[in-house]
A and B are shown apart, each in its own frame.
Chain A
Amino acid sequence: MIRTEDLGKSFGAARVLDGIDHAQQRGEVVVVIGPSGCGKSTFLRCLNQLETHDTGRITIGDVTLEAGARPDREKQRRLRLCSGMVFQQFHLFPHRTALENVMEGPRFVLGQTAAEAGATARALLAKVGLADRADHRPSQLSGGQQQRVAIARALAMKPQVMLFDEPTSALDPELRDEVLRVLRQLADEGMTMLVATHEMRFAEEIADHVLFMEGGRIAESGPPERIFRDPSQERTREFLRKILPKA
């Protein structure tokens, strides 16, 4: 479902992604962990083509995009349509209500009628537990509610895979659970998901497979039991020690 081969990206002289090879099956949930600046966010943004990769190739579903001198905008857009992106900072459209936020893509990208898009949007808001907040503006919602609307907004485009870029990092601890609950639900429904996160306990619980990234490379990967209980790399151990002081 998701496949990258020798995926690379530089910002100026800095090599942010340095040859990422990754393959993920339909319905598989992969969690990416690693220290800040390890490249996990850039990895997700390349998959969504918010960053243009400069080496290698990306395949999602049946769309493949080779690195090239000049990005083919139309092809980028087709790749983007295969995935739904959820951002750390939600990025809801502040001038529209929760319902309108969810309707925006289906209406103006897929060309659905307002009635059609509205019905889907209401169902999705109900699914993330926000049926009664449909007519609220983002500014009237809590962070956790905003992130749930953002997830509904991404789901409305019926993506084949969902990309989550640290979806709970901007939230107060007591608001994280409501978002994680939605992620868990999606995983249970068989959604193909790639999640960058610092929530180690959640990662261990939800992941089929864990990638530990450092310095733009996948330093270690494997099933969560092994990565979290018995990592083979010293760097992974060190990272986990820092991030799980009590464990």
Chain B
Amino acid sequence: MGPSRSTLSAPVSRRRTAFLACLLPLVGAVFFATAARAVTWAEIRQRGVLRWGNDAEGGAPYIYHDPQRPETLTGFEVDLAGALSAKLGVGSAFVQQNWDMLIPALGDGRSFDIIIAGLERSPENLAKIAMSRPYFSFGQQLVVRADPPLATSLDTLKGRPVGVLSGTVSYRILEARGDLDVRVYQDNVNYFRDLEIGRLDAVLTDTPIAQVNLAGNAKLRRAGPPFAPGSYAIGVRLEDSALLPEIDRAIEALLADGTLERIYSKYGLWTAEQAGLRGWKAPEEGPAKAGASTLRGWRTYLPILLGAAVTTVWVTCTGMAIAVVWGLALALLRADGPAVVRWGATVYVEVFRGTPLLLQIYFIYFGLAQQLGIKLGAGVAAVVALGLNYAANEAENYRAGIEAVPKGQSEAAMALGMTRWTALRRVVLPQALRISLPSVTNDFIAMSKDSSIVSVIGLVELTKQYQIRAIDTSDYIGLGVMTGGIYLAMSHAASVALRRLERSLR
């Protein structure tokens, strides 16, 4: 995989990931049924438009919105797509697709013809799609804080936190070493920010990303020369044998007439590395074999997934513990607090219920660190965000419970001379909690799935581990069955335990 300009998918899609895992056999069947359909070169010419897929969230210098002209896409891959289409004598149309899903979407053939999205010309990718000759050379760059200069190479960073993009060759390199505290990010901006404020000691990334992000930033610097050279190439369906040579010829022509040099120079990317593109020869290698079913290799993959499930479990349990306690406090403040406090608690509930969880996680993890210098660790930020968010739901559950207790109950308590607070604590609340318990149970199970959203701040929980492994192995089905099974087992265990609790309280 290339430099993942991996994406921040919408919160909804993440929440549904666990659910989708169970649907994957179906999705997979559709995928394989349509994979055989080839959009040929002839069809593109007839249409007069080359449709290319990428993810606009990729960021500079690949594909991004120019801050000066936010309505237009720019970046060296945008320019490349334009130049390439022109060479082929057709128009060009950009198709948005989440980066993680580019390769499956290409195979399905409905929306775009080729991928220009920083895909690495790697054996893993060549097993799934055909790839053109390289259009860009890059290497791995280690980035550290300028002051004080800490590490000079990965070897001096043992046990230290190092940031890396999800699903990239950089991630693979760090993971293979096994001696670093690897923090996985979803975009290529925030790990630099965390490096600046000291949450990370280094970042490993592709040279173009380092190039753009270090320009004009005095706080960060390169540590050592680039290493592990690789190249980006255009992705084409395996069976599109007529299209691939056309693309190769077009790239060659763009190199020969200096178009590529002009484009890359515009973004400060025409480095000595790019010279090798001209003399490139296809290596004598057959496409790597597609990965075997992970179900057959369950002894390898199940423990990996279970390890990630541990993160899911503790994030959920801790987050829910915060939510249950804080939510109760909110409900009590709303039921029996001074007017100002009641109003404040109501505003809290509305704000946390009315804004996306994803936004809140970013706010707590990045926003607090940036504006107030409160640098919560990813784990703490995750459980705090989940806890604060769900507390709003729990407060509402308790409120519904409190309101469901007949008014006569608090009147009887008051008639005995209890204060409002004693009546609430001794009479109303015990009954209200019993009424609320099923809704709280539901939320607990919902949170076990919602917790997958914390992967955006670098926690590798179950769904994230599934994504990482599915991209590695292309086995969305086998891994999906295992992952879905683990989620089901967890939520089933939780609902059985909580049902028992409900019964014992009756």
The judgment on whether A and B are partners is: yes
Where the two chains meet, the residues of A that have a C-beta atom closer than 8 Å to any C-beta of B are: 48, 50, 73, 77, 80-81, 84-85, 87, 89, 91-95, 104-105, 108-109, 150, 153-154, 157
Most buried by B among A84, A93, A150: A93
Most buried by B among A84, A92, A109: A109
Q: How far is the CA of A80 from the CA of B410 in the complex (A)?
A: 14
Q: How far is the CA of A87 from the CA of B411 in the complex (A)?
A: 9
Q: Which residue of B lies closest to A153 (CB)?
A: B416
Q: Which residue of B lies closest to A88 (CB)?
A: B408
Q: How far is the CA of A77 from the CA of B420 in the complex (A)?
A: 10
- CB neighbours (8 Å) of A80 from chain B are 414-415, 417
Q: How far is the CA of A73 from the CA of B418 in the complex (A)?
A: 11
B431 touching A91 by the CB < 8 A rule?
no
Q: Which residue of B lies closest to A81 (CB)?
A: B417
- CB neighbours (8 Å) of B427 from chain A are 93, 104
- CB neighbours (8 Å) of B434 from chain A are 95
Where the two chains meet, the residues of B that have a C-beta atom closer than 8 Å to any C-beta of A are: 406, 408-409, 411-420, 422, 426-427, 430-431, 434
- CB neighbours (8 Å) of B422 from chain A are 108-109
B408 touching A50 by the CB < 8 A rule?
no
Q: Which residue of B lies closest to A101 (CB)?
A: B412
Nearest chain B CB to A46 CB, angstrom units: 13
Supposing A104-B426, A108-B426, A109-B422 touch, asked if A93 and B409 sit within 8 A by C-beta, the answer is yes
B417 touching A93 by the CB < 8 A rule?
no
- CB neighbours (8 Å) of A87 from chain B are 408, 411-412, 415
Q: How far is the CA of A150 from the CA of B426 in the complex (A)?
A: 17
B416 touching A77 by the CB < 8 A rule?
no
- CB neighbours (8 Å) of B426 from chain A are 104, 108
- CB neighbours (8 Å) of A93 from chain B are 409, 412-413, 427, 431
Could you list 25 examples of A-B contacts with CB < 8 Å? A48-B415, A50-B411, A73-B419, A73-B420, A80-B415, A81-B417, A85-B412, A89-B408, A91-B406, A91-B408, A91-B409, A91-B411, A92-B412, A93-B413, A95-B431, A95-B434, A104-B413, A104-B427, A109-B416, A109-B418, A153-B412, A153-B416, A154-B416, A157-B416, A157-B417
For the residues of B in contact with A, the DSSP-based class is: helix
Nearest chain B CB to A84 CB, angstrom units: 8
- CB neighbours (8 Å) of B413 from chain A are 93, 104
Q: How far is the CA of A150 from the CA of B412 in the complex (A)?
A: 9
Contact partner, B418, options A95, A105, A153, Cβ 8 Å: A105
- CB neighbours (8 Å) of A153 from chain B are 412, 416
Contact partner, B416, options A73, A89, A94, A104, Cβ 8 Å: A104
Nearest chain B CB to A52 CB, angstrom units: 12
Nearest chain A CB to B453 CB, angstrom units: 37
- CB neighbours (8 Å) of B412 from chain A are 85, 87, 91-93, 150, 153
- CB neighbours (8 Å) of A109 from chain B are 416-418, 422
- CB neighbours (8 Å) of A50 from chain B are 411, 414-415
- CB neighbours (8 Å) of A92 from chain B are 412
Contact partner, A95, options B415, B420, B430, Cβ 8 Å: B430
Q: How far is the CA of A141 from the CA of B431 in the complex (A)?
A: 19
Contact partner, B415, options A89, A94, A108, A154, Cβ 8 Å: A154
Nearest chain A CB to B333 CB, angstrom units: 18
Contact partner, A77, options B408, B409, B419, Cβ 8 Å: B419
Q: Which residue of A lies closest to B434 (CB)?
A: A95
B408 touching A108 by the CB < 8 A rule?
no
Q: How far is the CA of A95 from the CA of B419 in the complex (A)?
A: 19
- CB neighbours (8 Å) of A77 from chain B are 417, 419
Q: Which residue of A lies closest to B406 (CB)?
A: A91
Supposing A77-B419, A109-B422 touch, asked if A94 and B431 sit within 8 A by C-beta, the answer is yes
Nearest chain A CB to B413 CB, angstrom units: 8
